């Protein structure tokens, strides 16, 4: 964080600004109550919904849909577009994207229902640096990826195999060496879609079970066959599972469940608390900024209202403001703490950039 201006009083800092936004005032470093200010809103003639949106260290955005990978600058301008056909095709037909990740390097997965899944590592210009064929690494027919995460040395891929009747009969979690592109370890577990995350020495994910039940499970990265249950998701409702999961840099796992609330689990204290968020099936996107504040979209079905919530690292609700209720909403945050809210209409994608503090000064 770089402070642009600091104004001193007689003995204490009176005001501090970050990018012309007042973030601290009087009494030393007392945090101001936050509001949310719009920076810009851009409309894009991208007919297919951007299913993923992530930010890099330079606050550029990358968006991915079934046709293309896009790079946007911090002003919302499209820097480049890469058609997915420019990458090695996983099949001639029925191609689909899966997931986009940024962790110092940019990765995305692409494939179809016939095991032809690839994970690509790209440079900032969208050129392929490395390619990982999941089928070559772990051959199995009619396989799908459910999640993947990366760290400095390994890629962790979860998936499952289906038979001709589309029945799941084989589940897996793979640990793949990024340098040798070899399978290091494998264990059998059914991990729910988009729930695998990496925190320090561990992986966390929902292990799905019969009748839509599941548990939050922790896997040891050194030995992914070594795992333990963190939370039983179904102690209150048989039809309960994780709809969104993220983590902060304080060692907390934050996960939103379908029918039983949103929780923060401390990996240090081994404690769980319920956050002040209305349970929502429709809007599940969450993200965390550099100050470890949580942002989440909340949809209240009785009143049909959609809100953007900011919750501080000490679990205080900072603000709850109405936002546009629209299709396929996504939240992400850049490394300066700016929020990007993406939604769809019938033939366009829209992105709104918000600063989570009140702008002041020049």
> Which pLDDT value is given to residue 280?
60
Is pLDDT of 350 > 80? Answer: yes
pLDDT at 22: 60
Alpha-carbon distance of 168 to 188, in angstroms, equals 13
Q: Is residue 86 part of a domain?
A: no
Band of pLDDT at residue 9, cut at 50, 70 and 90: very low
Position 14 confidence tier, pLDDT thresholds 50, 70, 90? low
Q: How far, in Å, CA of 97 to CA of 108, rounded?
A: 8
Residue 254 included in any domain: no
Q: Which residue has the higher pLDDT, 300 or 99?
A: 300
Separation between Cα atoms, residue 284 and residue 330, nearest integer Å: 8
**Mean pLDDT of the residues in the chain:** 79
Q: Note the pLDDT tens digit of each residue in 268-281.
A: 888 889 888 876 65
Which residue intervals of the chain are DSSP H helices?
Answer: 134-137
173-223 confidence digits (pLDDT tens): 999 999 999 999 999 888 888 889 999 899 999 888 765 568 889 999 999
Token couple for 119? 């994970």
Residue 113 dihedral angles phi and psi, to the nearest 5°: -85, 0
The 3-class SS string of 267-333 reads CCCCEEEECCCCCCCCCCCEEECCCCCEEEEEEECCCCEEEEEEECCCCCEEEEEECCCCEEEEEEE
79 φψ region: left (φ > 0), alpha (ψ -120 to 50), beta (else): alpha
Specify whether the CB–CB gap between 288 and 310 falls below 8 A.
no
CA nearest neighbour of 284 among 156, 189, 168, 192: 192
- Read off the tokens for 75: 């002003």
CA distances from 78 to 73, 150, 200, 333 (A): 7, 26, 34, 18
pLDDT of residue 324: 74
Q: Write phi, then psi, for 342 (nearest 5 degrees).
A: -110, 135
pLDDT of residue 260: 74
Distance CA 248, CA 288 (A): 6
Check residue 75 and give its pLDDT. 95
Q: State how many domains the chain has.
A: 1
pLDDT at 19 over 60: no
Residue 355 sits at the vertex; the CA angle it makes with 350 and 361, to the nearest 5 degrees, is: 130
> Is 24 contained in some domain?
yes
Classify each residue of 127-145 as buried b or exposed e, where b means 16 or more C-beta atoms within 10 Å of its C-beta: eeeeebbbbebbeeeebbb
pLDDT of residue 29: 45
Structural contact between residues 260 and 236, judged by C-beta atoms closer than 8 angstroms: yes
Does residue 26 fall inside a structural domain? yes
Cβ proximity of 71 and 80 under 8 Å:
yes
Q: How much is the pLDDT for 304?
A: 74
Is the model's pLDDT at 42 over the cut of 90? yes
312 located within any domain? no
Whose CA is closest to 76, among 44, 49, 106, 117?
44
- Choose among 69, 72, 50, 52: nearest CA to 61: 72
Q: Is 105 helix (H, G, I), strand (E, B) or coil?
A: coil
How far apart are the C-alpha atoms of 250 and 319, rounded to whole Å? 21
Please name which of 244, 261, 262 lies closest in space to residue 332, comparing C-alpha atoms. Answer: 244
Residue 42 lies in a domain: no
In a domain? residue 11 = yes
- 333 belongs to a structural domain: no
323, 325, 322, 328: which is closest to 348 by C-alpha? 328
| Domain extent for 12 | 1-32
Reported confidence tier of residue 112, pLDDT bands at 50, 70, 90: low
User: Residue 59, Cα to own-chain centre: how many angstroms?
Assistant: 16
């Amino acid at each position: 964080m770089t402070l642009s201006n600091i104004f001193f009083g007689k003995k204490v800092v009176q005001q501090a600004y970050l990018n012309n936004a007042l973030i601290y005032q009087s009494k030393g470093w007392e945090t101001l109550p936050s509001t949310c200010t719009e920076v810009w809103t851009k409309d894009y003639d991208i007919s297919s919904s951007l299913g993923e949106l992530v930010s890099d260290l330079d606050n550029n955005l990358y968006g991915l849909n079934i046709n293309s990978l896009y790079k946007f600058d911090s002003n919302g301008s499209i820097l480049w577009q890469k058609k997915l056909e420019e990458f090695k095709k996983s099949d001639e037909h029925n191609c689909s994207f899966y997931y986009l990740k940024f962790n110092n390097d940019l990765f995305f997965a692409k494939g179809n229902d016939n095991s032809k899944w690839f994970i690509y590592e790209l440079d900032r210009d969208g050129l392929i640096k490395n390619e990982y064929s999941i089928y070559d690494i772990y051959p199995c027919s009619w396989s799908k990826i459910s999640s993947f995460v990366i760290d400095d040395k390994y890629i962790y891929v979860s998936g499952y195999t289906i038979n001709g009747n589309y029945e799941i009969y084989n589940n897996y979690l793979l640990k793949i060496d990024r340098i040798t592109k070899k399978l290091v370890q494998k264990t059998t577990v059914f991990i729910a879609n988009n729930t695998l995350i990496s925190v320090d020495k561990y992986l966390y994910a929902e292990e799905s079970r019969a009748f839509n039940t599941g548990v939050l499970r922790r896997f040891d990265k050194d030995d992914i066959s070594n795992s333990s249950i963190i939370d039983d998701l179904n102690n209150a409702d048989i039809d309960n599972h994780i709809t969104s999961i993220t983590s902060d840099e304080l060692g907390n796992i934050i996960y939103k469940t379908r029918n039983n609330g949103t929780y923060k689990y401390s990996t240090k204290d081994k404690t769980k608390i319920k956050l002040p968020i209305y349970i929502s099936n429709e809007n599940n996107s969450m993200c965390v900024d550099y100050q470890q504040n949580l942002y989440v979209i909340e949809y209240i079905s009785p009143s049909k209202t959609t809100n953007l919530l900011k919750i501080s690292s000490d679990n205080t609700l900072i603000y709850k403001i109405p936002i546009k209720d629209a299709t396929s909403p996504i939240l992400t945050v850049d490394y300066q703490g700016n929020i990007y809210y993406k939604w769809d209409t019938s033939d366009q994608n829209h992105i709104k950039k918000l600063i989570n503090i009140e702008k002041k000064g020049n």
